Structure 1
Amino acid sequence: MTTAEFIREYRERDIRQLALQANRFPDVDMPYALDQIQGWQIARRKLPKWAACDGVIFPPHLSMEQCSSEPTAQYKLNLAMEWAEIVGHASRMTDLTGGFGVDFSFTSCAFAAATYVERNEQLCHIVEHNLPLLGLSNATVVCADAVEYLSTVEPQTMLFLDPARRDEHGAKTVMLADCTPDVVQLLPKLLEKSRFTMLKLSPMLDWHKAVDDLQGTVREVHIVSVGGECKELLLVLSTVVESELKVYCADLSTASDTPSLFVYTPGSSAPVANSTFNIQHSTFLHEPNASIMKAGCFDELAAAYGVSPVSRNSHLFLSDEPVEDFPGRSFVVERVTTMNKGELRKALVGIEKANIATRNFPLTVAELRKRLKIKDGGDVYIFATTTAEGEHLLLISRKYR
């Protein structure tokens, strides 16, 4: 059995079990085969179009885990197209930190010509092999250091960077200055060489500080979440376009092709007072999506959707009427209880399991679940929070949508 035949036949198997059976297949390049099988299994989840493409070669595990998913890569393509139209230019782009090439394979479609730059020679060979299979004919692959290449590249419509977020010991870094290459140090050259630059950064990064570090050149911040988790922080830099900063909170978890999007200008809304609601049966409870939680735009959200915060630190909102397009999850409150034992016993009658979340509450989820003696799961949602008056409440709810 050849290595290619082994990969095709066993690609749905557990790679740990396959590794233990390596002696049964002396003609198979087992390390390579296991990399390809593991890569295909990850791609089936993150990159289904790539997984369905015969002949695509996958890189080692770390590159596969770090690469974008198809939905987030498609979001960047849409953003690149919008900005190419804004600057009136769509001739060429360069990805200075190409990696496995997922973002490049998408964003390059917005331009007449595109250059992939990567200092890892192995990744360059893989991408050079894969791009024609993926139908990309406008791309050039260059094996080079990003900083050195930037000094020689001709002016581009767009430059794209996804700085490495691990240090020489493999530990994760989240500060902008700790990433490689150092975007702050490269900023003058990036602005000189592009009409706009798109940065992909760690979702753990403080976007306010990143905007400050980039010295007034950031025109848009995009906080992208998928499946209830913040996945990417994208910044668009330009000195060609002069405009006030806008923040886009995009949730790609919706069933439709159009993301849930909340856009605001930082500081545009006055602080919203804590809720004066008498929280009771039939009150609507709203939980913002992960992108909004990361952005911290709670006053802007409350003003835009006419909802009231339970308290300044709860990050939960209330309304008398349903809010159909609220960017997050909405619930109907069925019961409200304090932590008084008698009240709790009465409120929890008939509830054997529930999904529990704590917001600005003195107990963790595990501690609260133990006290309530309720199993996880079901269609009941219990939000434990603290009101502006300091009262600890449990809001027992069911999903509205």
Structure 2
Amino acid sequence: MTQATLQFIEDHLNDDVFSLSLLAPKFPEVNMQLAIRQIQGKQKTKDKIPCFYACKTLLYSAKLSLEQSSSEITAKHKSIRCEGNIMIDLTGGFGVDSFFFSYRFEKLIYVEHQKKLCDLAEHNFKALGRENIEVINDIAENFLENSIKVDWIYLDPARRSKTGKKVMLLSDCEPNVAELHDLLLSKAENIMIKLSPMIDIAHLQRELPGIYEIQIIAVENECKEVVAILKRQTESTIFIRTTNYTNSGKVEQFDFEQNEEQIAQVNYTKQAQNYLYEPNAAIMKSGAFKLVSNRYKLDKLHINSHLYTSNELIRNFPGKTFTVEKEYDFSKESLKALQKEIQKVNLAIRNFPMSVNDLRKKLKLQEGGEKQLFATTLSDNKKVLLLCSRIKS
């Protein structure tokens, strides 16, 4: 890449690429096709993978898709959980996970079936200063058959069919990790598999014997990844780690053994108290609905309402915390009082027999403002509206 092209990229990082393509005649010394490809790639990685964005000599493919790629936050998170001599990344892709794993192993073997991606990865790993990554162009199944035994194997199976349709079942992903299960465990002591944040955890456990840990990773309260770790020798119960990286820099961690949730005792309540709590997305995905109540000594509104309450403020709760200002029932008088109190509110439905849109029409309230209104059900099956204010942590 020439200095002129590099400078053009730096000068136009935030510009519209279509408009830039029209400038080609004015910049004959610039490889405009390459420059636009680089600018597009950098715009996609700026927030998701900042360390890749910062590397000026990193190259991007013409049709770079980062939809399934790990972000810098989630890739770092996964890498902290493992270390050893050799790791194989069987689904190399753009190389984000391989890059971060390479700091934890003496050698990282990157395997990818697309030749163009392999060439790109080989250049980029060197540009990023990673000399301990070996790039191999092969199909995952073929490479695995002839592989040496290693400490860890990592896979991020493609979650789109050949027609481009999103798939959720393990058996529909490529490679099919359920079919490769025994072969994988014959080649490594530990297997790490990144899965869709939408995957059903009970289905996952049925399909993949040998799971000893499940990680659920959320970023800014959005579930991004479910990660299964398999071992040859497993415990009788599965350890679940939930993590939420907040936009304030705080990390919310809630870990448990699966049987803890099964035996946890819960106190249900017919009335919201002074404070209301909503667990973060990672905890909600984990299904630890009773254990949250148990650990933080909170009352639960209803078995299916997944909202919790207390008279005393519980600090550092892993999720959102609110002050309960008023409780309204659905009598005409109560709804009139609510409409006099507020004209604009953020409305949320939790275990309630109406949609947000239908309830908003009924209440005649606009969206927005500082207040939060929860429509939910109490333990005696009473339907209520809880007007709350968010407590910022």
Sort the TM-score into its range (normalised by shorter chain): over 0.9
Name 1:43's counterpart in structure 2.
Answer: 45
Q: How does 1:170-319 map to 2 (within 5 A)?
A: 170-215=164-209, 217-240=210-233, 242=235, 244-253=237-246, 255-256=248-249, 259-268=251-260, 269-270=262-263, 272-273=265-266, 275-279=268-272, 283-319=274-310
Partners of 1:181 and 1:350 lie apart in 2 by: 56
Name 2:389's counterpart in structure 1.
Answer: 398
Name which of structure 1's ranges 50-59 and 3-12 shifts more when overlaid on structure 2.
3-12
SS in 1 for 2:67: helix
Name which of structure 1's ranges 370-379 and 384-393 shifts more when overlaid on structure 2.
370-379
The RMSD of aligned alpha carbons is: 2.1
Partners of 1:23 and 1:330 lie apart in 2 by: 57
8 Å CA contact retained: 1:274, 1:388 = no
SS in 2 for 1:343: helix
Partners of 1:18 and 1:370 lie apart in 2 by: 46
Q: How does 1:2-401 map to 2 (within 5 A)?
A: 3-19=5-21, 30-80=32-82, 84=83, 90-215=84-209, 217-240=210-233, 242=235, 244-253=237-246, 255-256=248-249, 259-268=251-260, 269-270=262-263, 272-273=265-266, 275-279=268-272, 283-401=274-392
The alpha-carbon deviation at position 277 of structure 1 amounts to: 4.4
8 Å CA contact retained: 2:324, 2:389 = yes
Say if 1:335 and 1:143 are closer, same or farther in 2 by CA, change over 3 A: same
The alpha-carbon deviation at position 28 of structure 1 amounts to: 5.6
Partners of 1:25 and 1:173 lie apart in 2 by: 44
Partners of 2:381 and 2:243 lie apart in 1 by: 33
Partners of 2:265 and 2:301 lie apart in 1 by: 11
Say if 1:193 and 1:335 are closer, same or farther in 2 by CA, change over 3 A: same
The alpha-carbon deviation at position 351 of structure 1 amounts to: 2.3
The residue type equivalent to 1:229 in the other structure is: E
8 Å CA contact retained: 2:157, 2:174 = yes
SS in 2 for 1:37: helix
The residue type equivalent to 2:205 in the other structure is: V
Name 1:87's counterpart in structure 2.
Answer: none
SS in 2 for 1:65: coil
8 Å CA contact retained: 1:249, 1:263 = yes
8 Å CA contact retained: 1:254, 1:260 = no
The alpha-carbon deviation at position 219 of structure 1 amounts to: 0.6
The alpha-carbon deviation at position 121 of structure 1 amounts to: 1.0
SS in 2 for 1:35: helix
Say if 1:275 and 1:4 are closer, same or farther in 2 by CA, change over 3 A: same
8 Å CA contact retained: 1:274, 1:311 = no
SS in 2 for 1:113: strand
Gaps of 5+ in 2: none
8 Å CA contact retained: 1:196, 1:240 = no
The residue type equivalent to 2:256 in the other structure is: Y
Spell out, residue by residue over 1:198-229, the C-alpha distance to the aligned partner (whole angstroms, 9 max, x if none).
000111111221112112x1010001111121
Gaps of 5+ in 1: 85-89
Partners of 1:63 and 1:284 lie apart in 2 by: 43
TM-score (norm 2): 0.92
The alpha-carbon deviation at position 267 of structure 1 amounts to: 3.0
Partners of 2:94 and 2:164 lie apart in 1 by: 18
The alpha-carbon deviation at position 24 of structure 1 amounts to: 5.9
The alpha-carbon deviation at position 20 of structure 1 amounts to: 5.8
Name which of structure 1's ranges 321-330 and 371-380 shifts more when overlaid on structure 2.
371-380
The alpha-carbon deviation at position 234 of structure 1 amounts to: 0.3
8 Å CA contact retained: 1:39, 1:58 = yes
The alpha-carbon deviation at position 19 of structure 1 amounts to: 4.7
Partners of 1:341 and 1:22 lie apart in 2 by: 67
Say if 1:208 and 1:20 are closer, same or farther in 2 by CA, change over 3 A: farther
SS in 1 for 2:70: coil
Alignment size in residue pairs: 389
The alpha-carbon deviation at position 350 of structure 1 amounts to: 4.3
Partners of 1:62 and 1:132 lie apart in 2 by: 19
8 Å CA contact retained: 1:39, 1:64 = no
8 Å CA contact retained: 1:275, 1:318 = no
Identity, % of aligned pairs? 37
Say if 1:332 and 1:110 are closer, same or farther in 2 by CA, change over 3 A: same
SS in 2 for 1:321: coil
The alpha-carbon deviation at position 23 of structure 1 amounts to: 6.5
